[in-house]
Amino acid sequence: MKALLVVADGMADRPIKELDGKTPLEVARKPAIDFIAQSGICGIVDVISPGIPPGSDTGNLALLGYDPFKYYSGRGALEAIGWGLEVKKGDVCLRCNFATVDENLIVLDRRAGRISNEDASKLAESLQRVDLSESSVKFTFQNTIQHRAVLVLQGSNLSTAVSDSDPKKIGMKVLEVRPLEKSFEASFTAKILNELMQKFHNVLKNHEVNVDRINRGLPPANIVLFRGAGNIPCIPTLSEIYHVNAASIAATPLVRGVCKVAGMRVLNVEGATGTPQTNYLNKAKAAVQALSEDNALVFLHVKATDVASHDGDYMQKILIIEKIDNMLSYIIDHVNLEEVYIAITADHTTSCVTRNHEGDPVPLAIAGPYVRRDDVKEYNERSCAKGGLGRIKGINVMPTLMNLIGKAEKFGS
Amino acid sequence: MKALLVVADGMADRPIKELDGKTPLEVARKPAIDFIAQSGICGIVDVISPGIPPGSDTGNLALLGYDPFKYYSGRGALEAIGWGLEVKKGDVCLRCNFATVDENLIVLDRRAGRISNEDASKLAESLQRVDLSESSVKFTFQNTIQHRAVLVLQGSNLSTAVSDSDPKKIGMKVLEVRPLEKSFEASFTAKILNELMQKFHNVLKNHEVNVDRINRGLPPANIVLFRGAGNIPCIPTLSEIYHVNAASIAATPLVRGVCKVAGMRVLNVEGATGTPQTNYLNKAKAAVQALSEDNALVFLHVKATDVASHDGDYMQKILIIEKIDNMLSYIIDHVNLEEVYIAITADHTTSCVTRNHEGDPVPLAIAGPYVRRDDVKEYNERSCAKGGLGRIKGINVMPTLMNLIGKAEKFGS
């Protein structure tokens, strides 16, 4: 027995007036997803806890079975790992922005005009060559998408108890990084980050890429802002907990990071971009392939539903749900339903009205040979609330699946 | 967006034979409350935990979002605060009874014949003039309703780890207060309480009010019994947690105390008495007014349903539910339902048969612009169990409301 867990990011929603009080899931035509609900058991899930809006990091950690209140240690490390950087225990990771400041270090643009990947890559290469005065500490700086970047500090005596240099608002001066506790490690780490900030600024302010940007009328990326210092979460892998091999299909660096710390094999899929234009069919094929291999669990994540929700574009969200349905249709047609449990849920509700993550529960359906099939006929927020699973928590989903495929360990004797 | 949370004390019940196996909520005519259920989302709530009968203190703490297992520190302080006494951190509060003892301190009547407020006030005035041998400790003694009173000790070196002097049964001797742990503070506090008990007894036994009571054939209130030493709970306010202003409409001292420690503005309403004769319309008007001001949350508590239940008077309970319905009807007519979420629940089940608080879950309905409306048509214990909220806990109610009005903080990023 094997399990496929499909997570559509932010797919759950609230009733929308322009849709006659229905949600995008209630409007979308989605025969394959409804088939999972009809032939399976349904319920609703508080991914974190009733009323608490999950982040994408905490939400996916919870759906993989990890209590985020226990294991979550910041987004920085997850994103760095997801981007392919090697992060070890004790390394301190920070999320970074290329930004634009004036001569007094007042922030003029927190995203340096959403600098291109090309420009950011050239700048990052130069920054990686900076020498730190403390030879015991090494750093890795890497740009990711547009203005975004990650910084990993490696060495002994490092701490995550340091403040951000990012003032988070334009018109404010870049902040000095301060220790957040009275320890040598925190002071030491703050000193290194302040040194890096200054040395990065010195490299950037006269860098030829920025001279060229100014000539082109673009804001120079003349500083790097640091925030969210965090460690790699110290969690047992899925293989350690359930003795299964697991594979993950996800494009978003943050979700790839979550899957990596959970010890999953993170697959690369041609055309999977984390955008509404992602290649749904290739993701489906990759899932079918992974299920045909030695993976008892395959995790398939689609980001596009969340993107549409944050844009408030409920019509696009409906279309994306229909594309996800096509993806599921391919999978249903190409796996042995006597052998594979298919579950579909969301990591949180994202409202097309508020354009934010919300704390409303998400629907869950699980189809497979031995589920206690209920009488829910459609997959959506309201119908699943009447299902046989009732209302469970995010951290209950993975044990529920592992139980169905015979991989849950008995407690007691 | 704003939220009104209406809590009818002990409104939930069990089926009653004389009502053809229905509950008072199932018999009462209550179109306004049913409108909230019909246009909203419903569920049932374990205010504390399944099967655990909540107190009015722990129940309302839970409904305001505070885990009572973590935050509850005795009824004494909540009642003292609710009665308007100023209680600071470290003060030790006790619930007190005026009682009747014989010359050997054997309790003859734990309530001194349910002494009148007038007699009790005169006695309390005299007791407040007692001098303590320890000048570092000050006390405030205040009668509340009938035989009930509160005692607040203020000073350094005080402890709540002291036993009760109240033997809780007639025919038993008044107990010496003992320290419950080996600490200077516990011994010191016990000593002060024993001194107060003795000095109060000396003042009371020859007090003219008691001479007069004996002449009238009434039991003299010649002792004060102490119980339930507690501190003010050290809890973050609703404003600290959710960044909202909150107002409360409640007459019962205990509930007012809970609301005060939660940092709510506790309003005074003309004619609101905490009895079945309370002025329901004035409470409705106060709620409408509070919602029109800068309060994102208004908490409206009605005690009368619980009073009728403790009397076993289910016919009166039905009438009170219908009066609460009128109150809701006024509110529904006078607030903008596009802006205000209205929730109605109870702090516990009180059975008209057992006349006690019971651990059965209570119904909850929430109406408002973006709830996932379900198909529940009536508000009662059984119909709400079929609603879209499923079965949640008391501490989930406040995050659920705060999430709907956009005040819940995301966990993760």
Cross-chain Cβ contact B408/A21 below 8 Å: no
Closest residue in chain B to residue A53, using alpha carbons only: B410
For B220-242, write each residue's pLDDT tens digit.
Answer: 999 999 998 999 888 999 999 99
Domains and CATH numbers, chain B: 2-69+234-404 (3.40.720.10), 80-230 (no CATH)
Annotate A13-80 with DSSP letters as a single string.
Answer: ---BGGGTTB-HHHHS--HHHHHHHHTEEEEEEESSSTTPPBPHHHHHHHHTT--HHHH---HHHHHH
CA distance A210 to chain B (A): 31
Going by their DSSP bridges, the two strands B390-393 and B40-46 should be labelled as parallel
Closest residue in chain A to residue B374, using alpha carbons only: A382
A314 touches chain B (CB under 8 A): no
The residues near A164 (Cβ < 8 Å, ≥ 6 apart) are A175, A177, A225, A226, A227, A228, A229
Q: Which of B5, B10, B6, B4 is nearest to B304 (CA)?
A: B10
pLDDT score for B193: 98
A66 touches chain B (CB under 8 A): no
B184 touches chain A (CB under 8 A): no
pLDDT score for B275: 87
Residues of B within 8 A of A48 (CB-CB) are 411-412
Over residues B196-213, the mean pLDDT reads 96
CA distance B336 to chain A (A): 17
B67 touches chain A (CB under 8 A): no
pLDDT score for B413: 82
Cross-chain Cβ contact B390/A14 below 8 Å: no
Q: What angle do CA A58, A59, A62 make, to 5 degrees?
A: 85
For B134-144, write each residue's pLDDT tens digit.
Answer: 889 999 999 98
Over residues B148-163, the mean pLDDT reads 95
CA distance A127 to chain B (A): 27
The residues near A410 (Cβ < 8 Å, ≥ 6 apart) are none
Mean pLDDT rounded to a whole number for chain B: 96
pLDDT score for A76: 85
Cross-chain Cβ contact A57/B412 below 8 Å: yes
For the cut 90, the answer to whether the pLDDT of residue B145 exceeds it is no
CB of B161 closer than 8 Å to CB of B179: yes
Cross-chain Cβ contact A58/B401 below 8 Å: no
Cross-chain Cβ contact A23/B399 below 8 Å: no
**Number of helices (H), then strands (E), in chain B:** 15, 15
Q: Which of B394, B381, B397 is nearest to B15 (CA)?
A: B381
B409 touches chain A (CB under 8 A): yes
B403 touches chain A (CB under 8 A): yes
CA distance A366 to chain B (A): 19
CB atoms near residue A97 (< 10 Å): 22
For B86-133, write each residue's pLDDT tens digit.
Answer: 999 889 999 999 999 999 999 999 999 989 999 999 999 999 999 999
Residues of A within 8 A of B402 (CB-CB) are 51
Alpha-carbon distance of A182 to A156, in angstroms, equals 17
Mean pLDDT rounded to a whole number for chain A: 96
Cross-chain Cβ contact A390/B388 below 8 Å: no
CA distance A387 to chain B (A): 10
Residues of B within 8 A of A50 (CB-CB) are 392-393, 396, 399-400
Closest residue in chain A to residue B393, using alpha carbons only: A50
Residues 220-239 of chain A with CB under 8 A from chain B are 228
Cα separation values, B398 from A47, A113, B41, Å? 17, 41, 15
CA distance A12 to chain B (A): 11
A363 touches chain B (CB under 8 A): no
CA distance A335 to chain B (A): 33
Residues 265-304 of chain B with CB under 8 A from chain A are none
Residues of B within 8 A of A228 (CB-CB) are 413
CA distance B412 to chain A (A): 4
A68 touches chain B (CB under 8 A): yes
For the cut 90, the answer to whether the pLDDT of residue B274 exceeds it is no
Q: Which of B400, B81, B79, B403 is nearest to B263 (CA)?
A: B81
Over residues B240-258, the mean pLDDT reads 96
For the cut 90, the answer to whether the pLDDT of residue B273 exceeds it is no
pLDDT score for A255: 96
A357 touches chain B (CB under 8 A): yes
Residues 24-53 of chain A with CB under 8 A from chain B are 44, 48-53
CB of A298 closer than 8 Å to CB of A248: yes
Cross-chain Cβ contact A52/B399 below 8 Å: yes
Residues of B within 8 A of A75 (CB-CB) are 412-413
Closest residue in chain B to residue A355, using alpha carbons only: B406
Task: Choose, out of A386, A389, A393, A396, the residue to mutate when testing the contact with B (most B CBs < 10 Å).
Answer: A386
Phi, psi of A161 (to 5 degrees): -85, 65
DSSP structure class, residue A386? T
Going by their DSSP bridges, the two strands B92-101 and B223-230 should be labelled as antiparallel
Alpha-carbon distance of A317 to B305, in angstroms, equals 47
- Which residue stretches of chain A have pLDDT < 70? none
Alpha-carbon distance of B385 to B362, in angstroms, equals 9
CA distance A54 to chain B (A): 5
Closest residue in chain B to residue A26, using alpha carbons only: B372
pLDDT score for B234: 86
The SS3 assignment for A240 reads helix
Cross-chain Cβ contact B411/A55 below 8 Å: yes
Cα separation values, A254 from A64, A290, B305, Å? 14, 21, 52
| Amino acid letter for position B78 | L
Closest residue in chain B to residue A12, using alpha carbons only: B372
A359 → closest Cβ in B370, B388, B399: B399
Percent of chain B topping pLDDT 90: 92
Residue contacts between A and B (CB atoms, under 8 Å): 92
A52 → closest Cβ in B388, B406, B411: B411
A306 touches chain B (CB under 8 A): no
